[in-house]
Chains A and B, each alone.
Chain A
Amino acid sequence: MSNHKTKIIPGKRIDWFTGVNMTFLVLIALLCVLPLIHIIAVSFSSSTATAAGYVKLWPVDFTLESYKFTAGREGFWISMLNSIERILLGTPLNLLLTIMVAYPLSKERNQFRFRLVYAWIFFMTMLFNGGLIPWYITLKELGLLNTIWALVLPGAVPVFSIVLLLNFFREVPKELEESAVIDGAGQWTTLWRIYVPISKPAIATLALFSMVDHWNSWFDGLILMGDPSNYPLQSYIQTIVIQQNFTAVSREDILSLAQISDRTLRSSQIFLASLPIIAAYPFLQKYFVKGIVLGSVKG
C-alpha cells in the first residue's frame, strides 16, 4: 500500500504542505511561550538595559537585584505562607468532600433512593447563583471576612469535580463491590477500600485541579481579606503588578535602588507567581489531559 501511495502523491508535495504547516504551528507555539521568556529576561536584567529596550529573550547586564528586593519584603513571604496555608487546608478538604459526595451520587437509584434529589440540589448550583453581592454579604455575616476560612470554605464543594468523579466511580466493576459486601463491608469500607484506591488517577487529577485553582485565585483574597497581611500571593501580586499600588512596598524604597525599576521588579514578581505552575507543569499537562478527556469526551 505504501508503494501505491508514493506513486500517487509525489514526495515533494507532502514536504511542501508539511513544511508550511509545521512552521505555522511552531510560530504559534512560540507565541505562547515567548512572552513569559521575555518577562523572565527582563526580571534578570538591569533597569537601564530594560529602559533602553535592549532586553529581548535573554537577560542583559544580568542582575538578581529585583529578586533580592522582593525576597527582602516581608509582605511577599507572608502572602506566600497564606497561599501555602490555603492549599494545605483547601485541597484536602476539596478532595474529601468530592469523594464523600460523589460516592452516594454514583449509586443506582435502587441502591440509593434519594440520589436524584441530592443530585439536583448539587446540580442546581451550576445553573444558578446569587451573584457577587449576596455572596459577599453572606460571608460577612458569617464572620468569615479576614480569616483563611473565607478562602477555603465557600469553594469547598467543587460540583464540577464531583461530576467527574461520580462518572469515574460508575465505571468501577460492580463485582468488586459485591464481593466486598459479601465479606461484610459497609458503605464506608467499600468507599475507602475499593473505590478510592481504584480511582487514584482520577483523584490525583482532581487534586491538581484543586491546587492550581487555590494557587491562582486572587479575587476572593482581594475582597474578603481587609488586611493585606492576609492576602494570598496572587492577591498581593495583583495589587503590586496590576493596580501598581506600592503601599505595601514604599516608592522611596524602590527609587533608592538604582539597579531595579518598577518594570524589572514587576517582572520578577510575575515570574515568582507563576513559578510553582511552571515547575509542576509536566504533571499538570499529563493529568489535565486525562482529566479533560475524562470529563468532556465521554460520549
Chain B
Amino acid sequence: MAPPGAYPLYLYVAVREGIGIMGGRWTRELPLHLMILPGLLLILVFSYIPMAGIVIAFQKFIPAKGLFGDQKWIGWDNFNYVMDLPSFQQVFWNTLTIASMKLVLGLVVPIVFAILLNEVKNEFVKRSVQTAIYLPYFLSWVVLGGILIDLLSPSGGIVNSLLGSFGIEPIFFLGSNDWFQTTLITSDIWKNFGYGTIIYLAAITGIDPGLYEAATLDGANRWKKAWHITLPGMRMVIVLLAVLSLGQLLNAGFDQVFNLYSPQVYESGDILDTFVYRIGLLDAQYGVATAVGFFKSIISFILIAGSYFFAYRYAKYRIF
C-alpha cells in the first residue's frame, strides 16, 4: 500500500475505505450503482430473459401465446423426441469431432509457429510474416466462405486447377463427405492461427534473455534451447489457453459451417448450432430446437465453469 502522502491521514483512510468525505458510504457508492444500472438492465433483458426462455424446451410452444404465456407443458417430450432422431446423434458426433480437432490443432499449430518465428532474426521478415498470418483473423466467415467457395470449386477453382496440373482429379472439398471435415478444420486453423501465434510470441518475449545466453555458453543448440527454455517459458500461457479452450468443446464454429455447408454434406458437417437453426428458425419447431440448445448450454456451462475453475486453480487466472 502506498504511503498516505501530503494530505491528512483521515482523508487517506476515507478514500481507501470508500467513505465519502461529506456523508456516508451510500453517498460514495450510490453513483456506482447508477453507473452500472443501464448495463445491468440491458443484460437482464437480453441475456437473462432468454435464459428464462429455456422453459420453451418443456412446452408445446405456440408463438402467438407469448414467451411466458399460457403454453402447454409437455415435460421431457421434446428431449425424448430429439434423442431418438438418428440425425441428432450424427450431429452430436460431428460437433465433437470437428470441435476437438480444431481445439487440438488450434493449440499446437500456433505454438510451433511462434517458436519457429522466434528463431527468425531478420526483423523485416519476422514482421511481414506476422502481418500476413494475422489478416484472415479479421475477416468474417462470409468473406472467407466466399473466398473458399471460389478457390475450392471443382470446376474452375484455382486449387483444383493447380492439382489438375499434377494430374490429380478434381476434389470436391466442400461437397464430399470425405473431405468436408478436413476442409473445415484446415480453414479454421488458417483463419485463427495468426491470433494464437501473436499471444505465444508475446509470452516468448517475456522470457529472460539471460537464460539463452547461459545455455549458449553451456553449448546448448537451437533445439535444446527451444525445448528447455522457450517451451517451459510459454508453459503458463499454453496451460491457460488449453484449459480455457476446453469450454468450446461443443462450439464447432457456426459461422464457418453455415457459410460452407450444403445438404449433401449434412452427414459429416451438420453441427448442433446449424441443426438448432434449421429445426428452430426454418422449420419453426421451437420447443425441439430449444431443447437441443438447452442440452448444449448445460454441457457447455459445465465445461466453461470447469475450465475457469482450473485456470484459476492452476494458472492463477482471475477474470475479475
Contacts and interface: CB of A to CB of B under 8 A. Distances in A.
Interface in A203-226: 212, 215-219, 223
B42 A25 contact: no
A165 B293 CA distance: 31
Interface in B99-156: 113, 116-117, 119-122, 125, 128-136, 138-140, 142-143, 145-151, 156
Given A28-B133, A182-B7, A242-B259, A18 B119 contact: yes
A107 B16 CA distance: 10
Name, among A18, A119, A123, the residue most crowded by chain B CB atoms within 10 Å (CB to CB).
A18
Chain B, interface size category, equals 35 or more
Interface in B39-65: 39-40, 42-43, 45-54, 56, 63
A128 B297 contact: yes
A269 B216 CA distance: 53
Contacts of B33: 104, 114
Interface stretch (B81-89, B90-98, B175-183, B198-206): B198-206
B190 A137 contact: no
Given A134-B51, A293-B202, A237 B142 contact: yes
B72 interface: no
Nearest to A38: B158
B194 A127 contact: no
Name, among B2, B32, B217, B319, the residue most crowded by chain A CB atoms within 10 Å (CB to CB).
B32
A35 B145 CA distance: 11
A263 B150 CA distance: 8
Contacts, number: 315
A134 B296 CA distance: 14
A215 to B, nearest CB: 8
Interface of B: 2, 5, 7, 11-12, 14-18, 21, 25, 28-29, 31-33, 35-36, 38-40, 42-43, 45-54, 56, 63, 66-67, 113, 116-117, 119-122, 125, 128-136, 138-140, 142-143, 145-151, 156, 158, 161, 190, 194-195, 198-199, 202-203, 206, 213, 216-217, 219, 221-222, 236-237, 240-241, 254-255, 258-259, 273, 276-277, 280-281, 286, 289-290, 292-294, 296-297, 300-301, 304-305, 308, 316, 319-320
Interface of A: 1, 4-5, 8-9, 17-18, 21-22, 24-26, 28-33, 35-36, 38-39, 42, 50-51, 53, 56, 97, 100-101, 103-105, 107-108, 110-114, 118-119, 121-123, 125-142, 153-157, 159, 162-163, 166-167, 173-175, 177-179, 181-182, 184, 186-188, 191, 212, 215-219, 223, 234, 237-238, 241-242, 263, 266-267, 269-270, 273-274, 277-278, 281, 284-285, 288-289, 292-293, 296-297, 299
16 contacts: A5-B216, A24-B116, A97-B38, A101-B36, A108-B18, A112-B32, A132-B273, A132-B293, A134-B53, A134-B290, A134-B293, A137-B286, A219-B258, A237-B143, A241-B149, A242-B149
